[in-house]
Amino acid sequence: MADGYRCEACGHASIRWFGRCPGCGAWSTAVAPKRSDAPDVEVVELAALTGAARRLSTGEPEVDRVLGGGLVRGSTVLLAGEPGIGKSTLALQLLTGADVPALLVSAEESLEQVAARARRLGIRDGRRLHAVQASDPAAAVAAVGRTGAAIVVVDSVQALSDPACEGIAGGVNQVRACAEALVRAARSTGAAVVMVGHVTKDGAVAGPKTLEHMVDVVLALEGERGDAMRFLRALKNRFGACDETGLFEMGPGGLAAVADPSALLLEGRRAGAAGSAVYCALHGSRAVLGEVQALVTSAGAEGGHRTAVGVAPSRLALVLGVLAERVELRLGQRQVFVATAGGTALREPAGDLALCLALASAATDAPVDPDVVAVGEVGLGGELRAVPGIARRLREARRMGFERALVPPGCCGGADARLRVEEVCDVRAALTLLWPRRRYRVVSGA
């Protein structure tokens, strides 16, 4: 504020704001001078706006669902993920799937590489898809104007570089400036702009954190290396909920939506083997069954290690603590490995009970009844706590042909003759129900 403040009473001017005017001694009379160049903006009554966002289908129902009904015109989406996870593949599928003029701005790969990917994906009719190789955001924006594209993908925002801006491509300054140019272009042309973004080793979007604030939607494409399953989640969505997950499988023809994730995740399960239990997770509104496995070795010289793949180490530590103190299943010096099958992550506390069963089963070499699904959060006292969406989870268990479900107290909703729903109050009760003759004793030690 170069002009500073002025006292309304006596006209005293000061660079700084003042509570009491140093000129006339009056209180609360400091006012900022009016700018003569203030833009004349239109103010409307909110109720007068119909509010329905104009959506574009991406042609991929799984992606549309995660977005909350398709891409919104004039909006910006950040598609983030680790290198090699399939961002460029998904981007190309979206561009060709949507029935509108589309533009790919390739800043990383040559157009020959892009064309090779398109051939690999079996894209034959690319008449409405234009591609340009450019790393200058101004060139990208000009191409949007020239092609009249309604969907634009920029691959990647970290590879763009504005010659008028300092710093190297991918740096904080450059990413912010380039993303700003794209956000402006989206608003002014009405095109939906998808920026591909890399993530760093710790999973954060590379570049400034402000990038996530600047865009309307942040999608994360995730999966385990060496595994074909891919999950698309909305981490931020100005136009919809953030709780939907799209499931895909990477194959020779690109990313294909997984019609029956439970069947895929339970495929190859060694039903009846010790150390395996089935849980039911919620991915957005959808319930998906999965297997959690545990392996407990005999005590070795380097004992006491815990390794968790797809399971949060804190949940594993909690469950091991409960098993040790509440049912005297102490694994002290033994090595413990837990893993989820199929590259899914067991994020929810609702998976605690299955994790407990897999560990107890591995430690005692007694298989869990293969017809059992276990759902429930375990508290520090060993008690089982209710979890959300129990009816949906049980429905999925029934659909997949499971005959028994162990659930927390008060969750019996939706049981029928095919699925026996057994409420258990704590971990000890669950273990006793599965292995009635077994008594838990201390198995730890050197």
| 361 interacts with Mg ion by CB under 5 A | no
Residue indicated by tokens 């450019």: 134
Rank residues 81 and 408 by Cβ distance to ligand TYD and give the closer one: 81
Q: Which helix (H) or strand (E) holds 274?
A: none
Instruction: Output helix, strand, coil percentages for the chain, rounded to the nearest 5.
Output: 30, 25, 45
Q: Which of 68, 70, 74, 86 binds ligand TYD (CB under 6 A)?
A: 86
The tally of CA atoms less than 13 A away on the side-chain side of residue 421 is 21
Q: Which two tokens stand for residue 56?
A: 């574009």
| 83 interacts with ligand TYD by CB under 6 A | yes
Helices 172-189 + 137-147 axis angle, to 10: 20
Q: Centre a 10 Å sphere on the Cβ of residue 44 and count the other Cβ atoms it contains.
A: 8
CB of 91 to ligand TYD, least distance (A): 8
**256 - beta bridge partners?**
249
Using alpha carbons, list the distances in angstroms from residue 87 to 82, 95, 154, 294, 371: 8, 12, 11, 32, 38
CB of 108 to ligand TYD, least distance (A): 8
The answer to whether 427 and 356 have CB atoms below 8 angstroms apart is: yes
Q: Which of 6, 87, 176, 283 binds ligand TYD (CB under 6 A)?
A: 87
Q: Which of 121, 142, 172, 386 binds ligand TYD (CB under 6 A)?
A: 121
Q: Which of 81, 207, 310, 376 binds ligand TYD (CB under 6 A)?
A: 81
| 89 interacts with ligand TYD by CB under 6 A | yes
| 93 interacts with Mg ion by CB under 5 A | no
Draw the binding track, 37-76, toward Mg ion (x: CB under 5 A; -: no contact).
----------------------------------------
Q: Which of 254, 261, 343, 367 binds ligand TYD (CB under 6 A)?
A: 254
Rank residues 198 and 398 by Cβ distance to ligand TYD and give the closer one: 198
Torsion, CA 345, CA 349, CA 351, CA 353, rounded to 10? 150
Q: How many residues does the chain have?
A: 446
CB proximity list for 172: less than 8 A, separation 6 or greater: 207, 208
| 158 interacts with ligand TYD by CB under 6 A | no
| 230 interacts with ligand TYD by CB under 6 A | no
How many of the chain's residues bind Mg ion (CB under 5 A)?
1
Q: Quick one: which segment of 34-42, 59-67, 168-176, 250-258 binds ligand TYD (CB under 6 A)?
A: 250-258
Q: Binding to ligand TYD (CB under 6 A): which residues in 16-45?
A: none
Q: Which helix (H) or strand (E) holds 276?
A: strand 276-283
Q: Which of 73, 117, 306, 347 binds ligand TYD (CB under 6 A)?
A: 117
Q: Which helix (H) or strand (E) holds 423?
A: strand 420-423
Rank residues 39 and 252 by Cβ distance to ligand TYD and give the closer one: 252
| 120 interacts with ligand TYD by CB under 6 A | yes
| 250 interacts with ligand TYD by CB under 6 A | yes
The answer to whether 222 and 230 have CB atoms below 8 angstroms apart is: yes
| 174 interacts with Mg ion by CB under 5 A | no
| 88 interacts with Mg ion by CB under 5 A | yes
